[in-house]
Homo-oligomer: A and B are copies of this chain.
Amino acid sequence: LRKKKQDHTKILDRLLQGSQTALGQAITLVESNNPTHHEQASAIIEGAIASAGKSIRIGITGVPGVGKSTFIESFGSHLLKLGKKVAVLAVDPSSSISKGSILGDKTRMENLVREDMAFIRPSPSGDSLGGVARKTRESIMLCEAAGFDVILIETVGVGQSETTVHSMCDFFLLLKLAGAGDELQGIKRGIMEMADAIVINKADGENIKAANTAKLDFKRALHLYPTKESGWMPEVLLSSALYNEGIPEIWNLIRSFERKTLENGYFEENRKQQSKFWLLQSINDQLKQSFYQNPEIKTALEEQLQAIFDKKTSPFIAAKQLLEKYSKL
């Protein structure tokens, strides 16, 4: 026990000094499903939390083919030149099936990978969205405690993952392509409403005209939505990540957002609301887990379900009886 305690104390100390190796080790503990690792992870987080929070957390989404990796490579490199420490995390619950479809192939971000001031971590795999979300939230805190001041959180937008990322970032950026058919590429309706900025990528060469048209279309569409709680009016920008064009403008926009929301109090309030959301979310997840994984409940649930199918009870009465049983265990 003593040895282990020393282990995670050492990891914590080095993490707080900015060691990327220690950060990697701490995240590995957070991602582990081993209970001992979990305790060590909790101890590290408790030690790190006072130093966390001092970053801007930027969520980035867009359909496959929009150029997310190239964008993050270009955007991240720009931030490094400005002296920022950049961490790139991913939320991709589909990686449990495809074994890491995003960020798994780090070679797509080869410049960023080579930099000492950048930290890149693929999505934890083999887990539900809830599990991935918890691990990513904790990884964000660890990155911040290790001194990273810009956290990019990438998502492929499978199922609810965009909403999940939106609920853990300060600024939400939606990458789009110009030209028809994008609506059919699977961008879900609610996503546009969550965006603080839409960036039309690949705005280069023959695409420029179409990109400018798309910019006007999206601007018009954004004006149909009600004003955001942040008081921020989402903007539409063009970029060519491949040629590093439009990138500084995006960072300047995010800085404006940060200034504005720090000033009007939304930045802090939003983080508080997010923390509260994750607290309740974790409680609800764990309440369900304790109930459904209880062996006696498992058997009783099957029996009640059969009784419902046999028209001997109703779902609501069955639920009530199961909870009475559970409270007596």
Binding site for B on A (CB under 8 A): 42, 45-46, 49-50, 52-53, 134, 137-138, 141, 188-189, 272, 275-276, 278-279, 281-284, 286-288, 290-291, 301, 304-305, 308-309, 311-320, 322-323, 327
**B288 and A284 contact, CB distance less than 8 A:** yes
**B52 and A287 contact, CB distance less than 8 A:** no
Number of identical monomers bound together in the oligomeric complex: 2
**B141 and A323 contact, CB distance less than 8 A:** no
Majority-rule SS of A interface residues: helix
Given contacts A279-B304, A279-B319, contact A314 B141 (CB under 8 A): yes
**Residue A323 contacts which of B138, B281, B283, B318 (CB distance < 8 angstroms)?**
B283
**With a CB–CB cut-off of 8 A, which chain B residues contact A284?**
284, 288
**B283 and A314 contact, CB distance less than 8 A:** no
**A275 and B308 contact, CB distance less than 8 A:** yes
A53 and B272 CA atoms in complex are apart in Å by 47
**B275 and A309 contact, CB distance less than 8 A:** yes
**A49 and B322 contact, CB distance less than 8 A:** no
Given contacts A189-B188, A284-B288, A316-B134, contact A311 B279 (CB under 8 A): no
Given contacts A279-B319, A314-B141, A322-B283, contact A309 B272 (CB under 8 A): yes
A138 and B305 CA atoms in complex are apart in Å by 17
Kindly report which residue of chain B lies nearest to residue A188, judged by CB atoms: B189
**B189 and A279 contact, CB distance less than 8 A:** no
**With a CB–CB cut-off of 8 A, which chain B residues contact A291?**
283, 287
Given contacts A276-B305, A287-B291, A323-B290, contact A313 B46 (CB under 8 A): yes
